[in-house]
Amino acid sequence: MRIYEGSPRQDFEEVLRSIGAFLDQRGMRDVLLLEAPDGFIVQGLVTSAGGTGAWSESIGQESKETLTFLDDDIARFMEEALARRGREIPGEGATVAGRYEAAFRVIGRYLDEQRPHDIFFFEQGGAFVLRLLVASQTGKHHQIVEFTPDDVAQLIAAGPTNREPERASDAAATPTS
């Protein structure tokens, strides 16, 4: 995928938001996400319907699942997410972003500001630990960043104010008739 290596295609905010929405729908948790040259690899725990025993019927079975999202998959997720958001009317049954959709969006926004060449992150106890390959004047190096659950909640709460300048600049750039 390598979003920032000469490709103006997509941004991490929308890409990760779309992956997060898929993970919310899938019911995945405790995720690990790795950027690959042609997409992303995501691994996490999924609870499936229970089997025949009393315990498994009430709890279900947990298993680790690994998914590969290629560029075409990501493009489809993004189109579906934009279409879904475009149909929603605030106050009239609009869906609220799930946990991963909201968290991945704000992490993606942070990544867009950092412009890393490669990302890897995992969830541990509700926090997200990121390893980024960033370029500096002295060359490329890895950087570790952690977003605690409180950090993520604060970034999500600040989201609408972060988008206000974008909307104002979009409105100013859009000709009116």
Q: What is the pLDDT along the chain (177 residues), one digit of tens a residue?
A: 445 454 444 589 989 999 999 999 999 999 999 999 889 999 999 988 765 555 545 567 899 999 999 988 888 888 887 787 666 555 555 557 899 999 999 999 999 999 898 899 999 999 999 999 999 899 999 999 999 999 999 999 997 776 544 444 444 444 443
The two structure tokens encoding residue 49? 């319907």
- Helical spans, DSSP H, in 42-98: 54-59, 71-87
Orientation of helix 71-87 relative to helix 12-26, angle to 10°: 80
Please tell me the predicted confidence (pLDDT) of residue 96: 72
Q: Which pLDDT value is given to residue 89? A: 53
Question: What's at 147, amino acid-wise?
Answer: F
Neighbours of 171 (CB within 10 A): 9
Q: φ, ψ for residue 86 (rounded to 5)?
A: -70, -25
Amino acid at 35: E
Q: What was the pLDDT predicted at 80?
A: 83
Terminal C-alpha separation, the chain: 39
Boundaries of every domain in the chain: 12-173
